[in-house]
Structure 1
């Protein structure tokens, strides 16, 4: 960006200098040609008059020596006069009623005066040369003056700021740890906040500012910058999608624990995502978030379509490919589960005991070694008596977060949850793969919940796996 700004300046300066040089050259050349032609004419007249006077002197000497007679002398004088008139190329200046010799003397006197004027002009030649040097100096000073004006008014707002930002961004690669990197990002943010104007600065600078805000989890500021960018470039699909992402993250940041993904997809976020896809049907971020929206609304077929399109846009070898493939697999499993659930809906309608649970896992409990297929056991047991679960379901880590319904059909023993008024519920990530809890497993806090006779009346209980055993 800096190089582009400097290129624009020097290109304009060179064009301006070329124009000034061209005008100066035309005027100086025209003046030189005029003076040169005038000097040539004056020299030709002087030479012709000098030759005529020499010829008359020679004829007078020949007459005095007797080499020619008077008649020959007169004839030769007339011939010299005629030749002079032809050479001067101005016979009208020698009228018939005027003495020819007097006319010649007058011309000589006039030429003498012209010579004096030329001497005066030559005397002033140094002054004329100084004027030309001044003209060239002015033409050279024009781009320099433009550069001096451009520095405070242009580079201070555009080029030099871009240069400083680029240099500071380059130092991010040398950061020793996350804390140092965050400090460097904060310094860039402070610089941009002091120098960038949402309405006047270059979009590239605003884009960098918004991305840094997002990296620092300052989603409110990022959303404000993206909104300003979108106001200036309403047909930019990428900025539209980035604004939707910032608003979604901002809502997630302020949402209470247990808020569903569907609730975080506000009407404004949905509108922005739809707009981004209208502008660019292959906008990868809008496709990814639209897949999230469809998944949160249990529209798994639509989620799969969006995520597959996003995967094509990102590429199979992109960093996003793994999470997209995992999402597609989860949506396909949920879609299969919906089909199976429809087959057992008639059977479920006959149940009399219901517990509704929403199971999720805290990100701090996810390990790099955890497989998406790691089993998650959700159970319900009696408040008093044996710790043996009365009902349980087996999920996979890739299924979380999810919402399930436990009924007497999920019984683990001869006795079920039917006839129970309250039960203890919990969830556990079984890294050992065994139903019995072992060291290294992660689990939720146990909670007591009422058993509802009707599924629609069952209160949702949040189970967050956030403890290591």
Structure 2
């Protein structure tokens, strides 16, 4: 913090210089006044001497006049260049001096009361990369202690606890984050996951309510889908585990490192069900093939890494997607297939509805429920086999 106080000191010195400048100028003016007054006094005394010499007969009238003119010229010469000085000054010397003394004291006092020196110190601390996860945990604990209303600090503290296999403490941290930020889907998913592992993998009504709320807010919430798959697998419900994990794989980016582990989990669940290969599970499953493209006029308004969610939803039914695939803008134009294998929920499949609508949404934040640009189709039959065309060309507006 030495740099901060040095800068503050320089600012105070600048303010003092501004305040003391009138005083310093006043001293120069006063010196000029004193010199002029002395010259005038000497001139007057010289005139008196000349008058005395004239009265004594030492000087005649002509000599007296010449001596007076000479004295006047000397006075003018001595006072030449002197500036006119106002007779009255509004401040004088006392007020600037008092202000100069008060400015540093008031400045320090006001900053100590309203300043954010703690925030500055904390920001400087977080600039330096922690050397160990324990150091990171200590920093986050300090951050939440000093600023308990920061949902981000509680969230990252919970993630750090989970990385250290401290699920009970992580659950408490995520609970605080939810209390601050509200029941956001991602926070609910993290909180439910921490509670599940803290409770020895026992499924409860509380966890069911939390995961239901999370998927209602975001049907593609990754942590929730992964947790439901784990809970179903641990409970021997292998088909449900496959369905949840397939939903998760469908929304994860291709380069996501967790895809391999999830696909491995799906394979193990298939083996438990006696299914030899993944291909056998998807044979003859009807689907809708759609080609998605980006309107040319939007090419300079999106970024290659922006997420693209392609989904089908029922025309007459629940608003949540029935099936979804995730790509990026860099993948467009692309041709994908949406089928019952991509169902977001086991009980809601494309084949269960007569008509569906196809939608493609671009979301820079990766949120499947809200984005920047969107394209949608007219209602089509769920059993259609024709290739569908879908263009993203409209600004996305939140659904009321």
Q: Which of these two proteins has the greater Rg computed from alpha carbons?
A: 1
TM-score in terms of structure 1 length: 0.39
